Structure 1
Amino acid sequence: MGWGILTILGPIVLVGAIAWAILRNKKEVTPRDEARTERATHELYDKADQQDAKDARRDPLSDEGDR
Structure 2
Amino acid sequence: MEHQATGDSMWAFVVIGGFIILGLALAFAKFRNKTTPAQDARTEQATHDLYKEQSRDDAMRG
TM-score, structure 2 length as denominator?
Answer: 0.68
Using the TM superposition, give the Cα deviation of residue 55 of structure 1 relative to its aligned residue in structure 2, in angstroms.
2.1
Q: Which runs of 5+ in 2 are unaligned?
A: none
CA RMSD of superposed structures (Å):
1.7
Structure 2 residue 24 is matched with structure 1 residue 20: yes
Spell out, residue by residue over 1:10-54, the C-alpha distance to the aligned partner (whole angstroms, 9 max, x if none): 221111111111111224321111111101111221122122112
Residue identity in the other structure for 2:36: T
The equivalent residue for 1:59 is none
Q: For residues 5 and 22 of structure 1, what CA distance do their matches in structure 2 show?
A: 26
Tell me the matched-pair count: 56
TM-score, structure 1 length as denominator?
Answer: 0.65
Residue identity in the other structure for 1:38: E
Q: For residues 25 and 47 of structure 2, what CA distance do their matches in structure 1 show?
A: 28
Structure 2 residue 41 is matched with structure 1 residue 35: yes
The percentage of counterpart residues that share the same residue type is 29
Larger helix proportion of the pair: 2
Q: Which runs of 5+ in 1 are unaligned?
A: 57-67
Q: For residues 44 and 22 of structure 1, what CA distance do their matches in structure 2 show?
A: 31
Q: For residues 24 and 50 of structure 1, what CA distance do their matches in structure 2 show?
A: 41
